[in-house]
Amino acid sequence: MPGLRVKGRAAFTAATLWCVLASGCSVAAPGPGAGPGRAAYPREQRIPLAVIDTLELRAHTYFLAHDALAGRATGTPGGELAAIYIAAQCRRLGLQPAAGDYFQEVPLVEITFAGGTLRVRDSVSAREFVLSEDFVPDFMTGRSLDGLRGPAVYLNTPIDLEVLPPLEGAIAVTLGPVGGPSALSALEMRGAAAVIQAGVDRSSFTLYRSSRGETLLRHADDGIESSLLSRIPVFVAGAEVTAALLAGTPLALGRPMPDGPLGKYVELELRTAHKAVSARNVACLLPGREPELRDTAIAYTAHYDHLGYGPPDERGDSVYNGFSDNAAGVAMLLAIAKAMKEGPAPRHSFLFLFFTGEERGLLGSDYYVARPVWPLERTRAVINLDAGAPPGRPASWRLAGGEGNELGLLAVDVALEMGWSATTSAARPNSDYFPFHREGVPAIAVIPGPGPFQGLTTDSSNALRRRWDFYHRPGDEWSEEFPFAGLQRYASYAYLIGAALDRRDRP
């Protein structure tokens, strides 16, 4: 069989795929000259393992971000291929299945939009807009999409729940994000039929289109609590819809307006089809060595899904490969697992959890915390990696979810010991650590930045970030030119946090 060559990358042959998926061998990524080698970390060489290297990170990301996986969308063959690859690599490293199998099935329902319109009427005229071109669905369950019509009522953001105007049967319109699931639930409780977030600039609307696509996914089991998906329908409006909604109001002139009716009537007509879809989390275990501690686990987490296909860029490329988001996170977890496996056995057990469906609303992690393969009460901490591949060696860090807790303080101490800086912030439902936080499990997301990279100025660091910033775009793909030393340091810091936790009997 001839090799598969896409976008000028090295070919995958049938033999390569068989090797990777059947026997769990490594993929050799192409590299310049003698290869990238290890960066010099005088202090980090105290790690007894010294095996977190750029070659492994290059190889894993090369495979996962290849066009052959078609962007790893949830519930697609490319996403399934990624899950099989991850399980094969865990097996190669000698990790055990976390619950009798490396896979955890996540039953889902896919809602496909076959078309739709949004009409805005006032006393003298009506305008009609087209789904995807002029407005797109935001994160929501999509359980009640029939009969979405009512008067448009403007709400300032952040929403003041104490002084809301009457919303029974209304379409709430905002010029900014509503404020999260709790605020959306409050609007639903007040009787709002739907929410439209207007005022989104062109580039942001394009990002919404590529990120949300023309389908929704939700859990097949209504009993699974969602950290992010809204029960009330939510849509994002482009410039034309925004102009129609705000016409004749002070808002159209850039002036403030109190909460209240916009003098418009909105009708949403959506044609949808439903089908069952199954995706899989991957759960791997490194058992601890100490009998009194091995029943408690420290978990590393990363999502492996991305967006699949989307609107093409200026090159005509419509594959959203997701190298930085989040093939990089998966590669780091595999590198950390290898480091732990090849070094002295840890005292506690370690879980390596690779989630599906993060891009579609934390579906895999929400399902996991509802159906954990390892009891949550015996999960000591969660360290989540989903902040992209830094194109330089970070010397500063942000620890989302670490505000005011011992896990955050420990992670800050680890950074300071390495000569870096770190700050903590509150948890937000923006990545897979949040469902654990919601259930009371200490959980942080480790995020590089925002300071300059080691050895670089602020300006040069920001220029590097701009050079490699292809968030949710086809340009987020593997490149020989990408400097992997930053990803190596990112993985090393995450490893050090876990190792510091393992040395303690309690967080």
pLDDT 10s digits, 455-490: 999 999 999 999 999 999 999 999 999 999 999 999
pTM of the model: 0.89
The answer to whether residues 54 and 36 touch, using CB atoms and an 8 Å cutoff, is yes
Does position 10 have pLDDT exceeding 90, yes or no?
Answer: no
Number of H helices, E strands in the chain: 12, 18
pLDDT of residue 489: 95
Q: Minimum mean pLDDT among 85-89, 106-110, 144-148: which range?
A: 144-148
pLDDT of residue 4: 33
Write down the architecture of domain 109-275 according to CATH.
3-Layer(bba) Sandwich (3.50)
The pairing of beta strand 171-174 with beta strand 148-154: parallel
CATH 3.40.50.300 correct for 14-106+277-503: no
Angle value at C-alpha 341, between 335 and 345, nearest 5 degrees: 140
The per-residue pLDDT of the chain, averaged, comes to 90
With CA atoms as reference, report the closest residue to 447 among 490, 477, 495, 492.
Answer: 490
pLDDT of residue 50: 66
Q: What are the start-end ranges of the H helices in 142-297?
A: 181-189, 202-212, 239-246
Mean pLDDT for 209-221 is 88
* Residue-range domain boundaries for the chain: 14-106+277-503, 109-275
